[in-house]
Structure 1
Amino acid sequence: MSGDFLSKNLSISAWKTNITMLNGSYYTDSSYCDIKIQAISVLSIIISPVGMGLNAKVLWLLGICMHRNAFSVYIFNLAMADFLFLCFQFVFSSFIVIYFLYSIFLEIPLFFYFWRIFSYLSGLSILSTISTERCLSVIWPIWYHCNRSRRTSAITCFVLWAMSLLLGLLDGMACGLLFNSFDIYWCVTSDVIISVWLIALFVVLIGCNLTLLVRIFCGSHRIPVTRLYVTIAFTVLVFLIFGFPFGVYWLLYLWVGDFHYISHCDVFYDTQFLYCINSCINPIIYFLVGSIRHRMFRRKSLKLLLQRAMQDIPEEEECVDNNSLEHPEELERVQSSS
């Protein structure tokens, strides 16, 4: 039994440092696999700076230029998690391209693998919390508005960042990603905790959004659709398409030690690239939702588009308040009171 645990955790540790195997036979078994990895890496180098720029713009607008409400605080922190992941993806892909083009092997510091775990857990936790709060505000609106403090979003995000950091540090120190330490017992323990946390977040994310869809489209007590609903719905949909596979792959790698030998050409690169796309698309969703129906994308600033994407008032009331589109101060007042 201890031998099984040892072999599994050695495989887990190998996954977490798989960049150091680039010069091994695993990556030279097939020219097709080499070409695919190179193509994914080049595409990542191209789109990651674009995504970092878009997320940096969202961070600037929400952090400096706009009055924040309950959900814009979550969007701000989600943009920060996406930005961190894209930074890792850019560095990771650059090292791979350098190796393939110049045969120069540059070992990525293990800290970057901890960074990837930390940013993914943070982003998923924040997105699940957004869905949970939106679901609570629909199912128990009176209780929600009466018991929710104005600082709930900031405190919740702080707790989620701290929890993700703690899990990442535990996994990094126990499994050898930090300080060159490796402990079999604590590595397995950290893998169990992270796996349970990932599964719980997936269940909450999917369950809350299914509940929202049922309340919007079914039953006698349908709720009006607002731009905030649309923003959340598209963000979650994009995550389920592009971000969910990376989490599933991560779980399989934690508990199926030889998974990369079973999968063709190591789908690790595919799922990581998909999550890179997810992090790039999120800011585009905010700006596009803000431009719906009023053709504002060409005429108005990104600040107003982002403000509109955070609006939580029905379309009918929004049409009545169209004059606020020309007065950002009024729009911020409406947004903060919602």
Structure 2
Amino acid sequence: MAERALGLLGVVGFAVAYMAFFWYARSNNMARVKTPMGVRLGFIVTLLALAALMLPAAGVTALTSLVFVEALGMMVLPLRVGVALGAGLLAVAELALRLTPGWRDDGSYSLSIVLGGLAVFGIRRAMLRSIELTAARKDFAELAVQEERNRFARDLHDILGHSLTVITVKAELAGRLMEANPTRAAAEVADVEQLARAALADVRAAVAGYRELSLAGELVSARAALQAAEIKADLPTVVDEVPEENRELFAWVVREGVTNVIRHSGAKRCTIRLSKSMVEVVDDGKGPTAVAGTSGHGLIGLRERADQAGASVQVGQAPDGGFRLAVRVAP
């Protein structure tokens, strides 16, 4: 009677402890978290002690508990330790079956220990892969957000940098003409209003995420901006030679190059050349400076666009002095 009571206590205690330990292991992700090894081994020792209580009443069937001990060990212990535990439990089962009178070895206990350990190992690997996949998705989402922020900041800089530069030049020109030529001054003020509205529309389009530049349109805008700044413009009149896939990038080059010419160069002449694979903006101004060198925000954004298109950016002094900006697309 006492043996049965002890065995029943062992079975109930083993079941409760196993479920509690397994739930704790999963909720605390013990396969990854640095839980003290003593705590993990304490789980195993507790289950083995409860399994020993079953022996007087359950006999050989108590060896079934070793399958669950190995399963928990594969869940909470490092892989090598879990495998070593499985090997030890397998040896205990085989020795007990051979040395205990009346116990018959049919191979089922040993096979169950091996299969149980393999099954939990597979579950553990699947859990780890799921955690790693979730972390990777989170990283990709954060990278996508960061890339979108960079895209928007780059577009906003290029849009407002160019538009506000032209607006400033035209406003200064209108101020000088206010008394000498009121009609011309009024026309320049009207242009300022139109440019401000166009810049606002560009910002809204950039926010919407579908804004694209037109190479032909940028050449027209560049001519008007250079004329307003009293810089002679030598620009191409057609863009048919440029492949469609290169035109947006070349449009950004024209915009950034002309903006820098107006802002920094002090030039009297600006030349833009186009070919199938290259666009070049050259002026006859004072050449590269610390402001209009290679590290401005506009040129950084232009390099990022060029990298995405597989193109190279060249900046530096022009052959005849002045500043040269060129972008070449790999064939």
TM-score range, shorter chain: under 0.3
Query: Could you state the TM-score of these two structures normalised by the residue count of structure 1?
Result: 0.26
Higher-Rg structure is 2
Ranked by relative contact order (alpha carbons within 8 Å, sequence separation 6 or more), the top structure is 1
Structure having the higher helix fraction is 1
